[in-house]
Chain A
Amino acid sequence: MLEWIQRGLGQGRITTRYPREPEPAPQGYRGSVEVLDADDPPPELASVCPTGAIAVAGRRWLTLDRGRCILCGECVRRAPERFAFRGEYETAGRSRAGLVVDGQRRAGEHATRKALGEQARMLRRSIHVRHIDCGSDGSEEWEILALWNPSYDIQRLGFFLTNAPRHADILLVTGGVTAPMRGPLERTWNVMPGPKALVAVGTDACSGGLARDGGLVAGGVDRALPVDVYVPGSPPAPIAIMHGLLLATGVLTEARAAA
């Protein structure tokens, strides 16, 4: 056992300092897609996207819905002058409409990184998180779980995992809600005490993703329950989910202030 302790200490610090310090994405990381040029979009551009995230209307109207984007890069390959990958983590947003980007408007929450850290502090470092899978592809679970590994260690910000929904402040939902999971999802949410926040993790949870039109998936968690924070990405990286969780603490502090 002593050897394990030594081994643990020998590692040194590898944990990210996010949100106190910025965490830049590695070079070439495909975190989100942005619209570079919205002028005169050809109407057939919309059909490039396998999940229908791209909308073309009129001469200067080209939008990309990150809540539907699975980051497959078909648009970037087909029209590199109009779309490009961006290496960013902070893609989460408090509203579904806020995930839609065009040439000028960039998505994302404008609260600064530091302010988000403060919000978590205001809750006295005790936020309990519960997760429920409603039809993900399994990768979102890995990325959520990674938050509690030494590289991200979200416990340092006061986020704890809880098994009991009655103890939970935040519910993380993955997947676009399959029929057999709808009942368990609603029941889990209903027994959580207020103030509470629901975070949809991953493009599948935001909109159903590729499974949306199959008829077996409701098409996004917000078809079943009100969503407070959307974290797009297929799957979102651990830092992106951490950003979403910090946004969710804002929901909790606002609710507390109102009470």
Chain B
Amino acid sequence: MSVTEQRAGIVRYPPEQFGAIREPAPAGEVRLSVAASAFASAATVMQEAGARFVSMFAADTPERSLVAAFALRGELVLVRAPAGGDRRASVSPVADGDTRARAPGEEIAFPGEATAFESIGAWWPAARWAERELAELHGLRFRGAEPAAPLTAPDADSLEDRQVSGLDAFSIPYGPVRSGIFEAVQFHIETGGEDVARIHTRPFFKRRGMETRFAGLAPDLGAHVAERIAGIAGCAYAAAFAQAVERALGVQPPPRAQRWRAVYCELERMACHLDVIAKQAETTALYVGQARFQILKEQVMRLRVGLTGNRFARGMIVPGGVRGEGMMDLGELLAALDSIERQLHRDRRMFLGTASMTDRLIGTGRLPRALVEEYGAVGPLARGSGLSTDARHERPYGNYVRVGPQVVSERDGDAMARVRVRFGELSESLRILRQAIDHLRRRDGQLQSALPAGGEGAACGWVEAPQGELLMWVEVADGTIGRVHVASPSLRNWALFDHAFPKDVLTDFAFIEHSFGLTPAGADR
């Protein structure tokens, strides 16, 4: 038994103990196969071993199965159970060179005769939404799952999942048409006027079926789709997709490409974090502060234009590497980053020293660590509650194998802690950027590794997106993409929003929402 297996806790929980068979997998993944009847008990074993639930999805490789992904001590454990039915050709054959052919958008993975599973979500909250999604979109049945209103087909007018009752209690539907410029999502706020009794989040107003859009595309075209799942984190999505394809086909991107990916991803993290901080400043009417962080964000956007010609650095990351060198002089880029750091330093000091700002954040939207763990939350949200979950650190990939990020973690679990985590990560991103750019300046190298023609395989790719850990399962057959699953940090973290108002009032809503820093586009896909 190898060291990594010992680390992954498989010594304490040998797969044989719960009747699991090990299957071959790319490095960093442990794949176990169990019978459908043992699927839930395998999840129990994972929970006891201290695993974090990541996602649950339908896969076609090596056969039609239900897969649950867990993060367990530096490894990704995929537990798979065959779900009945034959492996169906889910990818329509593609005419030569025609990139427009694709499978239909609505695709039911498990038709009526599929095996029923024991519900995991009944006792593990992290799995609840994943299960409902599988049940509603893919026709899978879970025994013992609590009945609930449809998650994936929301109706803006329905208030049927209202629970609070009483003389003074009322329910405010907020969204999907938001006040201000925000993405569509709806909240049912049940309140007696001031105290928030219960919040119920309803995502999926903007489900576009992006996962099925990959089917039949060549890997390099798939990157365009990945970038547009969540536009503000497009580089992270493209990188996760690219890594999944590379791992499935056994290709290693050249180090120079990995460094460029880190540059784009860290710039993206900076833009997202600055956006969240600017929005926090806006909610307390700290308008100069808001303007300052908006200016810094705009500077990052313009650096991306200088490097790539696109304000979101789109079109650069592809499976196999990156499309080209950044167009900007790297010395200039370093100087620009220095200038951003100087400004940021002063703005941060002033932001954290403005009592009218910090008073509204301290103690607001407190999430205890145990709750965050139970829901398998990720990203700045989890790190604000004392966890050190960071995909760059847990399962280093690409450039982060060489440059380990220092995980920024705060214990308080309130909106302030989440802002502090973001400030810390801005500095950390600048450090990683400098290191990567320094290497890019000194050495030359390849930008792309060729993908094997007609390659086949399936693998997970993961990235620490600005919103948290992002996992993508990608199946490749005959050199084209088949089934794709996106475990987005936004959807996983949103399940916690219902619990983020322990002692908070209605006016704290904006603070708490912004402190989550999520994107509905990523959640709804």
Contacts and interface: CB of A to CB of B under 8 A. Distances in A.
B507 to A, nearest CB: 16
B217 interface: yes
A210 B288 contact: no
Given A7-B350, A178-B207, A143 B311 contact: yes
Contact of A214 (B212, B295, B519): B212
Contact of A217 (B204, B208, B229, B311): B208
A215 interface: yes
Interface in A1-41: 1, 3-5, 7-8, 11, 14, 26-30
B238 to A, nearest CB: 12
B97 A26 contact: no
Interface in B86-130: 97-100, 102, 104-106
A95 interface: no
B39 interface: no
Interface stretch (A70-78, A99-107, A114-122): A70-78
Interface in B164-213: 176-184, 204-210, 212-213
Nearest to B523: A138
A150 B294 contact: yes
A211 interface: yes
B234 A139 contact: yes
Interface SS majority for chain B: loop
B346 interface: yes
Among A27, A143, A183, A216, chain B packs the most CB atoms within 10 A around the CB of A216
B177 A235 contact: no
Contacts of A26: 302, 305-306
B310 A210 contact: no
Nearest to A163: B179
A175 B99 CA distance: 22
B312 interface: yes
B468 interface: no
Contact of B206 (A47, A71, A136): A136
A215 B106 contact: yes
Contact of B176 (A44, A150, A181, A213): A181
Given A4-B354, A213-B105, A214-B209, A180 B176 contact: yes
Interface stretch (B53-61, B149-157, B420-428): B149-157
Contacts of B289: 4
Interface stretch (B220-228, B377-385, B431-439): B220-228
A140 B106 CA distance: 25
B216 to A, nearest CB: 11
A216 B298 CA distance: 33
Contacts, number: 196
Interface string A194-210: 00000000000000011
Contact of A210 (B176, B181, B213): B213
Nearest to B353: A3
A210 B210 CA distance: 8
A184 B231 contact: no
A169 to B, nearest CB: 16
A213 B302 CA distance: 32
Given A26-B302, A138-B183, A150-B295, A216 B154 contact: no
A4 B350 contact: yes
Contacts of A85: 309
Contacts of A249: none
A188 interface: yes
A56 interface: no
B291 A135 contact: no
A213 B213 CA distance: 8
A165 B105 CA distance: 33
B289 to A, nearest CB: 6
B522 interface: yes
A176 interface: yes
A170 interface: no
Interface size class of A (residues with CB under 8 A): 35 or more
Contacts of A139: 231-232, 234, 312
A234 B176 contact: no
Contacts of A8: 288, 291-292
B156 A50 contact: no
Interface in A136-167: 136-146, 149-151, 161, 163, 165
B373 interface: no
A50 B230 contact: no
A135 B346 contact: no
A33 to B, nearest CB: 12
Interface stretch (A58-66, A126-134, A220-228, A251-259): A126-134
A75 B102 CA distance: 19
Interface in B228-273: 228-232, 234
Contacts of B10: none
B206 to A, nearest CB: 4
A134 to B, nearest CB: 7
A141 B182 contact: yes
Given A7-B288, A70-B224, A184-B176, A138 B522 contact: yes
A216 B207 contact: yes
A193 interface: no
A48 interface: yes
A150 B225 CA distance: 32
A85 B302 CA distance: 18
B506 interface: no
A184 B209 contact: no
A90 B221 CA distance: 27
A45 B350 CA distance: 56
Nearest to A165: B177
A181 B180 contact: no
Among B154, B213, B234, chain A packs the most CB atoms within 10 A around the CB of B213
Contacts of B302: 26
B232 A138 contact: yes
B327 interface: yes
Nearest to A174: B183
A51 B184 CA distance: 24
A1 B357 CA distance: 11
Nearest to B213: A214
16 contacts: A4-B354, A7-B288, A30-B310, A44-B97, A72-B221, A131-B181, A133-B176, A133-B178, A135-B206, A135-B207, A136-B231, A137-B231, A142-B275, A146-B294, A178-B207, A210-B225
Given A8-B292, A50-B221, A235-B311, 17 more contacts: A5-B288, A7-B288, A14-B295, A44-B97, A50-B99, A133-B520, A137-B230, A139-B232, A139-B312, A142-B231, A142-B232, A149-B298, A183-B157, A211-B208, A213-B105, A215-B105, A237-B311
Interface of B: 97-100, 102, 104-106, 153-157, 176-184, 204-210, 212-213, 217, 221, 224-225, 228-232, 234, 275, 286, 288-289, 291-292, 294-295, 297-298, 301-302, 305-306, 309-312, 314-315, 327, 346-347, 350, 354, 519-522
Q: Considering the complex of A and B, which 3 residue pairs feature the smallest CB-CB distances, nearest first? A: A139-B231, A215-B105, A214-B105
